[in-house]
Homo-oligomer: A and B are copies of this chain.
Amino acid sequence: MILRSAPLALGLALSAIPAAAVAQPVTDAASGTAEQTSLFAAELRDARAFVDGMIGEGVVVPVPKDPGGGYTHEQHKRNYRALQLGGRLYSLTGERKYADYVRDVLLAYAKLYPKLDDHPAKANQHPGRLFWQVLNDAVWLVHAAQGYEAIRDILPQGERRIIDENVFRAAARFLAVDSRATFDRIHNHATWAAAGVGMTGYVLGDQALVDLALRGSDGTGRTGFLRQVDELFSPDGYYAEGPYYQRYALLPFLVFADAIERREPGRRIFERREGVLLKALDTTIQLTYGGCFFPLNDALKDKCLRTDELYEGVAIGYARTKAPGLLSIAQWQGRTVLTAAGQALSMDLADGKARPFPFRTTLLRDGPGGEKGALAVLREGAGFDGSALIAKNTSQGMGHGHFDKLGWQFYDNGNEVVTDYGAARFLNIPAKEGGRYLPENETWAKQTIAHNTLVVDGKSHFGGDPELAERHAPRQLAFVESDRLKLSAAEIDSAYPGVRMQRVLALVRLSDIAEPLVVDVLRSESETAHVYQLPLHFNGHIMRSGFVRTSFTQARPVLGDANGLQHIWIDARGQPKSATDGFLTWLTGDRFYTARWIPQSGATVLIGESGANDPDFNLRREPMVIQQVSAVRSPVFVTVLEPHGRYDGAAERTDESESRVASLSHQRSGQYDLVTVERRDGRKHTLAISWVDDPDRDHTAIIEGRDVVWRGFAALVDNPRENAP
C-alpha cells in the first residue's frame, strides 16, 4: 500500500489510505481548511493525548475479573477506545506507531481471548467474556473492528490470521452462536451484537458473517439487524425503551448502517422505512430538554447529548442530511468524531452554517407500525429553556419500562419542574450494587406511585407485571397543535382491571400571561369503587399551600407497605375544599410554580417525600403532593400548573410570587368536559373538550348561561369580556 503525505493546516502529515481499509476516508481537499481551533482539531489533539498515553503505559490486557466500574472492566473499555482511536489516528496521520499499537493490543487479545470462559462477575443470564455482561463484549467488538479495519491491510498474513481467528472470529462466534439468546432478540443488546458481528464480517471480508448480522441466526430475517431496524423504531423514529436507551441503541444502528452504506450501497439502508434511521436521530434530539434526555423509563438523568453515541450520530446524520440544526447540536456538544464526517461537520460549523435545532411540538407514535400509543411533546418557547410538556402514552418498552401509563413531565425556564425519578442506579459505582440497577429501581423507580399518573387501590399499573404490561398500550385519542393550545389526549382501560383512564394534557397560553399553563384533566371510570391516588412529583422548595395542613413534624408516617408506597414519608396532610384553597406553590430556580386542583369530595391531599425504607441511602429525596380519595367510582381530576413570577436573589427582587389564578371549575356537559380557569383579575378561560377527534366537527355547550361553539377535539374559549371587540 502507498502512503501519501500532504501538508496540513494542523501541522500533521495526513495520509490517504486505500478506501477499503479506512472507515471513513478523509479527503485531502477537506483537510486543507481544518483549523487549530475547530472541533475536529481538538478531537485530534485529545485522541493523540489519549492514545499516546496508552502507548506509554504499554499493552495492558488483563484477565477479566471485575464487574462494571472495577479495574479490568475499565481497562477493557479504555482498550477498545484506544483501538478505535488508534486506528483512526493511523488513518489520519499515517504514523506507524498507531498501527503498531493497535496490532500489539489485538495480538494480546488474541492470546487472552481463546482462554476465556464466562466472566467471573457475571450477574445475569447473559454473561460476557471480557465483561460481566455480553452487551459490553458487543460494544467492545464494534469499536475494535473499526480499529482493526484501519490497520488490517498492512499486517503480515501471519499476524492477520492470528487476529482474524483468535479475536474477531472468536468474538463474533461468541456473540452470534454462544450468546444466541441475546443475538436473536429484538432489543438494543442484539443491535450491538449484530453491529459487532456485521462490522467484523466487513473487515474480514466474510459475507456470511454480514448476512448473519443482517438476517439473524437462522438466516430468515425474523431476527437480525434489518428486523431490528423494522421493529425497534416506530415510523416516527421512536424507540420503545425510551430516550435513554434510544440514545444508547442509536450508535450501533447508525455506525453499522454507515458501514453497510459504504460496503453495500445497494441496500439503501438509510432509505429503509422512509429513512427511519435518520428520523430516529432527529427524534433522539427532540427527546431532550436543556440538552438532556427526558428520563422516561430506566434512565440516568445526567445523560445528555454530550455522549459518544451522539457525537458519532450527529456526524453521521449531518453527513447524510446537511441539516444545519445538527451543527448547533455539535456546537453545544463541543465535540465531534475523528472521521471524515466529523471533519466535514467541523468545517461547516466553523464556516458559520449552524442554525438553531428545530425543537418542535410533536407526536411520536410508538410501535413498529405506530400502533402502540405515542409520546406527545408539547413545547412553547425556545428549545433549550422554554416550556416542554411530555405526555407518556407509549407502550411498556420492555424490561426497562416503568408502570406509568398516561404519565407526564414538565420542564420550564431551564429546569425540571414536574419530574420523573428516572432509574435508581449509580452507574458503575462499585459501592452501589456494583453500579447495576439498585433494588429500589424495582421497588420505587418503576412503580406507578413514583410517577405522575393515577394509582388505583395502592397498586401499580398491570400489577407491576412487565409481561402483561407489554401486551397493552394506551390509545392516543387526539393531538392538537394551535397557537394558544397544544394538547394530547389518550386513554387506557387495561392498566387496572375494570378501570378506564382518559387523560388530556394541554399547554395553554392565556392573554397577557407570558408563561403557558398546563391543564390536566384525568377521567377515571369504573363500575366499582376504588381508592385513587394521584401524585405530582415536583422539583422545588415549597413556598405555601392554600389549605390548612396537619404536619407530621416529629414522626412522619410512611404511606404504605408495597408497590412503592413504602418509600414515601408523609410530611403533612390537608383537606382543601375547592380550587381556591387547593393549591401548592413552590420555587424552582428563579420562578414560582403553583399546582392547583379541584379537590374530590372527601379527598385528602398529602405532601410527601421519597426516601422511606431506604436503609442504604439509594434514593434521592424528592418532594411530591398526592391527591387521595377513597370509595369513589369515577373521579375526574382537574389540575392546573401555573408558572409565575421571578425571584432574583442577586438583585433582591421578587415579582408575582402569588398565583394569578383565583379558582378552577369543571363542568360535565353531555359528553363534554369544560374546565374553566378563573383569574384573579376576573378574566375566565375555558378549555372545552369534546372528546371527538374530528377537526371539522362543531360542538356547542352552555358556559355561564351562554352558548359556546368550538370546533374539533378541544379548544380554548375566552369568556365574553375577553371576546368583546
Task: Give A contacts to B, CB under 8 Å.
Answer: 69, 74, 77, 300, 302-304, 306-308, 426-432, 435, 541-544, 549, 551, 553-558, 571-572, 585, 587, 607, 609, 612-615, 617, 620-621, 647, 649-655, 657-658
Contacting residue for A613 out of B306, B435, B553, CB 8 A:
B553
Let me know if B426 and A304 touch, CB within 8 A.
no
Let me know if A543 and B428 touch, CB within 8 A.
no
Let me know if B307 and A543 touch, CB within 8 A.
no
Let me know if A541 and B300 touch, CB within 8 A.
no
The 9 closest A-B pairs by CB, nearest first: A302-B649, A551-B615, A542-B617, A431-B544, A428-B654, A553-B613, A69-B654, A431-B543, A307-B650
Most B CB contacts (10 A, CB to CB) among A647, A651, A654 go to A654
Given contacts A429-B587, A585-B431, A620-B541, contact A74 B554 (CB under 8 A): no
CA distance A647 to B300 in the complex (A): 13
Closest Cβ–Cβ distance, residue A245 to chain B (whole Å): 13
Let me know if A553 and B303 touch, CB within 8 A.
no
Given contacts A74-B655, A426-B543, A614-B553, contact A650 B572 (CB under 8 A): no
Most B CB contacts (10 A, CB to CB) among A300, A543, A621 go to A543
Let me know if A554 and B558 touch, CB within 8 A.
yes
Contacting residue for A572 out of B426, B549, B554, B615, CB 8 A:
B615
CA distance A426 to B586 in the complex (A): 12
Closest Cβ–Cβ distance, residue A202 to chain B (whole Å): 27
Can you list 28 contacts pairing A with B, beta carbon distance less than 8 Å?
Answer: A74-B654, A302-B650, A306-B650, A307-B650, A307-B651, A426-B541, A426-B587, A426-B647, A427-B649, A427-B652, A427-B654, A428-B652, A428-B654, A429-B543, A429-B587, A429-B657, A430-B654, A430-B657, A431-B543, A431-B657, A431-B658, A432-B543, A542-B617, A549-B615, A554-B612, A555-B557, A555-B558, A607-B617
Contacts of A653 in B (CB 8 A): 74, 77, 428
Contacts of A307 in B (CB 8 A): 650-651
Since A74-B653, A553-B612, A555-B555 are in contact, a sample of 9 more A-B pairs with Cβ atoms closer than 8 Å, ordered by chain A residue number, is A74-B654, A308-B651, A428-B647, A428-B653, A428-B654, A429-B657, A430-B654, A571-B617, A572-B615
Closest Cβ–Cβ distance, residue A252 to chain B (whole Å): 16
Contacts of A306 in B (CB 8 A): 650
CA distance A310 to B607 in the complex (A): 40
CA distance A655 to B77 in the complex (A): 13
Closest Cβ–Cβ distance, residue A680 to chain B (whole Å): 14
CA distance A657 to B426 in the complex (A): 12
The quantity of this chain's copies bound in the complex is 2
Let me know if A617 and B585 touch, CB within 8 A.
no
Given contacts A542-B617, A549-B615, contact A650 B303 (CB under 8 A): yes
Given contacts A426-B543, A657-B430, contact A304 B650 (CB under 8 A): yes
Let me know if A300 and B617 touch, CB within 8 A.
no
Contacts of A300 in B (CB 8 A): 649
Closest Cβ–Cβ distance, residue A537 to chain B (whole Å): 16
Contacts of A558 in B (CB 8 A): 554-555
Let me know if B541 and A617 touch, CB within 8 A.
yes
CA distance A617 to B306 in the complex (A): 36
Closest Cβ–Cβ distance, residue A567 to chain B (whole Å): 10
Given contacts A649-B302, A652-B427, contact A657 B69 (CB under 8 A): yes
Contacting residue for A553 out of B302, B585, B615, CB 8 A:
B615
Closest Cβ–Cβ distance, residue A560 to chain B (whole Å): 11
CA distance A498 to B216 in the complex (A): 81
Contacts of A607 in B (CB 8 A): 617
CA distance A435 to B543 in the complex (A): 11
CA distance A649 to B621 in the complex (A): 20
Closest Cβ–Cβ distance, residue A11 to chain B (whole Å): 26
Contacts of A553 in B (CB 8 A): 612-615
**Nearest B residue to A557 by beta-carbon distance?**
B555
Most B CB contacts (10 A, CB to CB) among A69, A554, A571, A614 go to A554
Let me know if A654 and B587 touch, CB within 8 A.
no
Closest Cβ–Cβ distance, residue A302 to chain B (whole Å): 3
**Nearest B residue to A70 by beta-carbon distance?**
B654
**Nearest B residue to A657 by beta-carbon distance?**
B429
CA distance A694 to B198 in the complex (A): 74
CA distance A557 to B556 in the complex (A): 9
CA distance A609 to B621 in the complex (A): 11
Closest Cβ–Cβ distance, residue A612 to chain B (whole Å): 6
CA distance A614 to B544 in the complex (A): 13
CA distance A361 to B435 in the complex (A): 39
Closest Cβ–Cβ distance, residue A37 to chain B (whole Å): 18
Given contacts A74-B655, A572-B615, A657-B69, contact A303 B649 (CB under 8 A): yes
**Nearest B residue to A544 by beta-carbon distance?**
B431
**Nearest B residue to A308 by beta-carbon distance?**
B651
**Nearest B residue to A617 by beta-carbon distance?**
B542
CA distance A542 to B427 in the complex (A): 14
**Nearest B residue to A607 by beta-carbon distance?**
B617
CA distance A74 to B541 in the complex (A): 23
Contacts of A74 in B (CB 8 A): 653-655
Contacts of A302 in B (CB 8 A): 649-650
Closest Cβ–Cβ distance, residue A375 to chain B (whole Å): 23
Let me know if B429 and A647 touch, CB within 8 A.
yes
Closest Cβ–Cβ distance, residue A429 to chain B (whole Å): 5
Closest Cβ–Cβ distance, residue A564 to chain B (whole Å): 14
Closest Cβ–Cβ distance, residue A524 to chain B (whole Å): 30
**Nearest B residue to A649 by beta-carbon distance?**
B302
Contacts of A429 in B (CB 8 A): 543, 587, 647, 654, 657
Contacts of A650 in B (CB 8 A): 302-304, 306-307
**Nearest B residue to A78 by beta-carbon distance?**
B653
**Nearest B residue to A301 by beta-carbon distance?**
B649
Contacts of A621 in B (CB 8 A): 609, 621
Contacts of A655 in B (CB 8 A): 74
Contacts of A77 in B (CB 8 A): 653
CA distance A617 to B608 in the complex (A): 11
Closest Cβ–Cβ distance, residue A65 to chain B (whole Å): 16
CA distance A431 to B557 in the complex (A): 27
CA distance A617 to B571 in the complex (A): 9
Most B CB contacts (10 A, CB to CB) among A69, A74, A554, A617 go to A617
Contacts of A649 in B (CB 8 A): 300, 302-303, 427
Let me know if B658 and A430 touch, CB within 8 A.
yes
Most B CB contacts (10 A, CB to CB) among A431, A435, A620 go to A431
